[in-house]
């Protein structure tokens, strides 16, 4: 297995190439894309394929190292590959400010990198079909490549500062991509798209600010941004403090978790994510699976050793609340992408709750499995929307199984995975999370654990229910779209590809790049968990030595730098078997309810909704969180802005204009003095001279004879005076 | 005979010339008046030269003056022609552009 050994001399450069290729692709396509054949999509998709191949190849090395029993943990700085970003000597106390960045490649980043590479490649492939004919096709590809670059860079960063830089770049890219149609003057969803991208940007910005402050508190205390140093110093700090986390670490940890709340759409900052559906569907797949929301969970994984028990309790509560709350909303939504959006929020809640419950490894595992099946679900939804001529309302779909068999099979596979059916990836990861909750509940007997143990299975039940509701409404029954379905009112979604020559009013299967991407992701979604969880030698002993848990385990995750962590990796037998039965029960229970309500139609869902009355309205209106935020944050902000505008217009402008008027008055005075006094003196002198001149001119008649007469008279007078005197 | 008679003639001639210059309304008469004054001076030159011991310097001056008068007449006539050309008149009171 010498070939599969990580070689720092070569492989770090390969790792650098992974984000560099999409970045290069972005640069080429954004400047030259318009002129390239096919607007450069082949270039970026091909480049992404190379990146994906490298990530998979290096991921295989990580797996083989994990099986050889080694701790797979590589820092490029230890091999002299690091980039000095900022150096400033002469700080006080003699220690120079030296900010460097390098690559941190451990089991977690190996897994995440491969996920990002694979999902991003499939999204590129899918976009070739889906975005065909878009006005800004080459810009779309450039942006999605830069988005991938940001996520790859974030995964590889060995310090939280550069992590944050890529994190912010991702915020920008999500803004640009969600607002893709907001830049197109011909798009019917122009206003919605530009509002959605602003909302996403500003809402995540709240979390980003918290993360930045938390990060700076850690830097202020520890004088470092490096993850490995932070982990080590945090351990030392706790040991110095008699095993307790100091209060400042709790505060800073909460602020860092604020970043996750924003980016991973946790309550109450989840509001941007459903609106982000205005973006093209491949972008939604990208945001929901590989990039953006995964970054928040990844941050939790990276900073887990810094979190105090109090922070973890908050993390648990927020995650559990989000999981349950988004799942209930998911049951009332009729927009096919909306259902998926709320399911993403709910699944992210699962991941975050897992981290809070100590099952950080399971949280990471769910992030990986979720990435595949959620990317597949979104791309399938995109394919459905594409096939139904931009119809997104599930009430106008149905029976699509016959028209789009490939999409149907892929979507069904991914839905089985997300619902947690055994042998699909989602079952394994979700089972582990519920198991963590039970373990905590059985051992600790505190409110947080009981809440998680009660709410997470319920959320899982609802997940299975609303996902199969989607399947039954979309693919089974009779097609309800028909002729009226297309081009109607606000449901006329314009999602990218501009023109249909044929304009047939029956749904159709999507072109091959789209279905190929679907099949690839569906396979990974089905097999992913199974594949990674079981050992190659003994597939039945899945829970004893799973692949993924070998690759990403608490021992290897922090490179052996973290001694003791609150963890629930080794569970009691009771919690394990209980969790197994409960997750099986909720998965099949949810499907059964959906079957009864939406396939057999034994009970009319609308009647249930009517009977629930106000409760249903509250859930269907997303618990009025948007309205609350509008009242509490948006309107006061706007009012404050208006007040400031008023102050600006009346007070500040008054002062400025007053100064102007004063100056003008002084100017008038000065001009008057100049005109009257100064000019008067000058003109007076001139007119005096003129008057005197006019007097003198009187004798100048111009008559020669007169002059001579004067001369003679003068001469005579002179002579007379001479003679007489 | 003393020098007084010459001076008297000369003074008379001067007076007539002066009156002609100042009072005549034709430039040609004015020119004539100038000639008369010059000749009055000539008479004085010659008379006083004779009177002061038969010297020749006065007569030399007289000859200079005559030559000068000839040159002056030529120039003056040329000016008069030009004046006439400009003003269509040879009356000195009309030619008062010097005033400006």
Q: Give me the phi and psi of A137, to 5 degrees please.
A: -55, -50
Test A708 with B95 for CB contact under 8 angstroms: no
Of chain A, the percentage scoring pLDDT greater than 90 comes to 11
B3-94: CATH topology is Helix Hairpins (1.10.287)
Is B82 exposed, middle or buried (CB count within 10 Å of its CB: 0-12, 13-18, 19+)?
exposed
Q: What is the mean pLDDT of chain A?
A: 81
Q: Phi and psi at residue A106, in whole multiples of 5°?
A: -120, -170
Neighbour-count burial for A439-473, b at 16+ CB within 10 Å, e otherwise: bbbeeeeeebbebbbebbbebbbbbbbbbbbbbbb
Q: Per-residue b/e over A620-655, b at no fewer than 16 CB within 10 Å?
A: bebbebeeebeeeeeeeeeeeeeeeeeeeeeeeeee
Task: Grade residue A290 by pLDDT with cuts at 50, 70 and 90.
Answer: confident
In B, minimum Cα distance to A709 occurs at B22
Rg (CA), chain A: 37
pTM of the model: 0.73
| Choice between A629 and A710, residue whose per-residue pLDDT is larger | A710
Confidence bin at A660 (pLDDT 50/70/90): very high
SS3 A327: helix
Pairwise CA distance, residues A254 & A259, whole Å: 9
> Closest Cα to residue A431, out of A344, A366, A481?
A366
Please tell me the predicted confidence (pLDDT) of residue A723: 93
Interface predicted TM-score (ipTM) of this complex, two decimals: 0.81
- Give A578-631 as a DSSP string: HHHHHHHHHHHHHHHHHIIIIIS-SS-HHHHHHHHTHHHHHHHTGGGHHHHHII
Q: What is the pLDDT of residues A416-450, one digit of tens each?
A: 888 888 777 777 778 888 888 888 777 777 788 88
State the pLDDT at residue A382: 85
Contact A705/B30, CB-based, under 8 Å? yes
* Helix, strand, or coil (residue A100): strand
Report CA-CA distances (Å) from A82 to A78, A101, A153, B58. 9, 6, 14, 121
pLDDT at position A690 is 93
Binding-face residues of A in 659-698 toward B, CB within 8 A: 697
**Residue A621: CA count within 13 A, CB half-sphere:** 12
Q: Write out pLDDT tens, residues A454-508.
A: 888 888 888 888 888 888 888 887 777 654 444 433 333 444 444 444 444 567 7
The span from the CA of A591 to the CA of A426, in Å, is 15
Q: Which stretch of A26-30, A169-173, A304-308, A358-362 has the lowest confidence by average pLDDT?
A: A358-362
Mean pLDDT value of segment A531-541: 44
| pLDDT over threshold 60, residue A345 | yes
Across the strands, what pairs with A631?
none
Is there a contact between B99 and A708 if contact means CB atoms under 8 Å apart? Answer: no
Among A351-355, A481-485, B11-15, name the one with the lowest average pLDDT: A481-485
Question: Higher-confidence residue: A246 or B75?
Answer: B75
Domain boundaries, chain B: 3-94
Question: Token pair 């002198």 is at which residue?
Answer: A685
* Dihedral, A538, A540, A541, A546 alpha carbons, nearest 10: 80
pLDDT for res A159: 87
* pLDDT bracket for residue A561 (50, 70, 90): low
The answer to whether residue A396 scores a pLDDT higher than 50 is yes
> Given this model, what pLDDT does residue A591 score?
84
Task: Identify the closest residue of chain B to A708 by CA–CA distance.
Answer: B22
The segment with the largest mean pLDDT, out of A35-39, A410-414, A593-597, is A410-414
Q: Summarize the confidence of residues A51-61 as an average pLDDT.
A: 87
DSSP state of A253: H
Question: Phi and psi (nearest 5°) for A604?
Answer: -80, 120
Residue whose pair of structure tokens reads 């003008």 in the numeric block: A664
- Residue for token pair 């618990």: A623
Say if CB A297 and CB A264 are below 8 A apart: yes
Q: Is the CB of B22 less than 8 angstroms away from the CB of A708?
A: yes
Å between B95 CA and nearest CA of chain A: 7
**According to the model, what pLDDT value does residue A483 have?**
47
Tokens representing A393 are 């309302």
Cβ contacts of A700 on chain B, cutoff 8 Å:
98-99
Average pLDDT over residues A212-235: 87
Residues A117, A57: contact at Cβ < 8 Å? no
> Distance from A694 to chain B by nearest Cα, in Å?
11
Q: CB-based contact (8 Å) between A607 and chain B? A: no
pLDDT for B100 beyond 70: no
Banded model confidence at residue A32, pLDDT cuts 50, 70, 90: confident
Residues 6+ apart with CB under 8 A from B83: B27, B89, B90, B95
pLDDT value at residue B98? 65
On whether the CB atoms of residues A363 and A354 are closer than 8 A, the answer is: yes
- How many angstroms separate the CA of residue A712 from the nearest CA in chain B? 9
Residues 6+ apart with CB under 8 A from B27: B80, B83, B90, B91, B92
Tell me the C-alpha to C-alpha distance, in Å, between residue A121 and each of A48, A114, A125: 5, 11, 6
Q: Do A702 and B18 touch (CB under 8 A)?
A: no
Closest partner CB to A703 (pick from B18, B23, B92): B92
Q: Report whether pLDDT(A83) > 60.
A: yes
Q: How far apart are CA A688 and CA A698, in angstroms?
A: 16
């Amino acid at each position: 297995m010498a070939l599969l050994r990580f070689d720092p001399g070569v492989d770090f450069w390969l790792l650098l190439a992974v984000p560099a290729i999409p970045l290069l692709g972005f640069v080429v396509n954004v400047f030259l894309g318009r002129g390239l054949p096919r607007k450069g999509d082949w270039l970026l998709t091909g480049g992404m394929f190379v990146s994906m191949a490298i990530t998979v190849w290096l991921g295989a090395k990580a797996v083989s190292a994990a099986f050889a029993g080694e701790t797979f943990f590589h820092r490029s700085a230890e091999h002299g590959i690091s980039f000095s970003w900022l150096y400033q000597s002469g700080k006080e106390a003699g220690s120079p400010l030296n900010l460097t960045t390098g690559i941190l490649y451990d089991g977690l980043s190996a897994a995440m990198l491969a996920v990002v590479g694979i999902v991003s490649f499939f999204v590129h492939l899918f976009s070739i079909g889906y975005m065909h004919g878009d006005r800004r096709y080459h810009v779309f590809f450039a942006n999605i490549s830069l988005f991938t670059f940001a996520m790859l860079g974030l995964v590889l960063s060995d310090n939280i500062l550069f992590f944050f830089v890529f994190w912010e770049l991702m915020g920008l890219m999500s803004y640009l991509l969600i607002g893709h149609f907001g830049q197109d003057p011909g798009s019917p969803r122009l206003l919605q798209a530009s509002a959605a991208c602003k909302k996403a940007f500003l809402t995540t910005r709240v979390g980003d600010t918290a993360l930045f402050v938390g990060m700076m508190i850690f830097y202020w205390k520890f004088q470092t941004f490096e993850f490995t140093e932070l982990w080590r110093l945090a351990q030392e700090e706790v040991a110095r403090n008699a095993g307790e986390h100091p209060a400042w670490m709790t505060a800073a940890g909460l602020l860092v978790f604020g970043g996750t709340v924003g980016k991973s759409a946790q309550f109450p900052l989840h509001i941007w994510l459903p609106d982000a559906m205005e973006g093209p569907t491949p972008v939604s797949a990208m945001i929901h699976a590989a990039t953006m929301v995964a970054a928040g969970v990844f941050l939790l994984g990276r900073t887990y050793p810094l979190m105090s028990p109090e922070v973890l309790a908050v993390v648990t509560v927020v995650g559990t609340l989000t999981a349950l709350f988004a799942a209930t909303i998911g049951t009332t939504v009729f927009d096919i992408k909306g259902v998926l959006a709320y399911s993403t929020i709910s699944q992210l809640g699962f991941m975050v709750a897992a981290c809070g419950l100590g099952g950080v490894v399971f949280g990471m595992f769910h992030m990986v499995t979720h990435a595949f099946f959620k990317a597949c679900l979104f791309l399938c939804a995109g394919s459905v929307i594409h096939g139904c001529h931009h119809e997104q309302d599930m009430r106008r779909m149905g029976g699509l199984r016959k028209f789009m068999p490939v999409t149907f099979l892929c979507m069904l596979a991914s839905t089985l995975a997300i619902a947690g059916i055994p042998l699909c990836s989602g079952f394994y990861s979700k089972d582990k999370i519920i198991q963590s909750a039970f373990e905590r509940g059985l051992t600790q007997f505190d409110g947080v654990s009981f809440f998680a143990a009660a709410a997470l299975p319920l959320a899982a039940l609802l997940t299975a229910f609303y996902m199969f509701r989607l399947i039954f409404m979309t693919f089974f029954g009779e097609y309800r779209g028909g002729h009226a379905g297309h081009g109607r009112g606000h449901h006329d979604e314009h999602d990218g590809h501009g023109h249909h020559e044929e304009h047939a009013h029956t749904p159709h299967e999507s072109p091959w790049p789209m279905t190929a991407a679907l099949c690839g992701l569906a396979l990974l979604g089905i097999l992913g968990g199974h594949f990674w969880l079981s050992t190659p030698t003994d597939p039945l002993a899945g829970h004893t030595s799973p692949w993924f848990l070998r690759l990403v385990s608490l021992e290897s995750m922090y490179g052996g730098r973290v001694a003791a962590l609150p963890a629930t990796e080794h569970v009691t037998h009771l919690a394990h078997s209980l969790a197994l039965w409960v997750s099986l029960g909720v998965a099949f229970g949810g499907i059964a309810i959906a079957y009864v309500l939406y396939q057999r139609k034994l009970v009319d869902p609308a009647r249930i909704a009517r009977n629930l009355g106000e409760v249903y309205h509250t859930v269907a209106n997303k618990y009025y969180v948007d309205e609350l935020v509008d009242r509490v944050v948006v309107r006061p902000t706007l009012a404050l802005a208006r007040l400031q505008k008023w102050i600006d217009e009346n007070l500040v402008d008054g002062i400025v204009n007053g100064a102007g008027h004063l100056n003008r008055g002084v100017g008038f005075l000065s001009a008057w003095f100049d005109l009257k006094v100064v000019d008067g003196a000058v003109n007076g002198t001139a007119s005096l001279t003129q008057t005197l001149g006019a007097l003198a001119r009187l004798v100048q008649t111009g008559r020669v004879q007169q002059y001579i007469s004067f001369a003679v008279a003068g001469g005579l007078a002179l002579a007379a005076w001479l003679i007489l005197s | 005979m003393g020098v007084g008679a010459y001076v008297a003639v000369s003074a008379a001639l001067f007076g007539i010339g002066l009156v002609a210059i100042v009072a005549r309304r034709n430039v040609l008469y004015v020119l004539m008046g100038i000639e008369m004054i010059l000749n009055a001076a000539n008479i004085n030159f010659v008379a006083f030269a004779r009177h002061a011991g038969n010297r020749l310097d006065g007569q030399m001056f007289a000859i200079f003056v005559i030559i000068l008068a000839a040159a002056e007449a030529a120039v003056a006539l040329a000016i008069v022609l030009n004046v006439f050309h400009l003003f269509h008149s040879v009356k000195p009171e009309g030619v008062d552009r010097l005033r400006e």
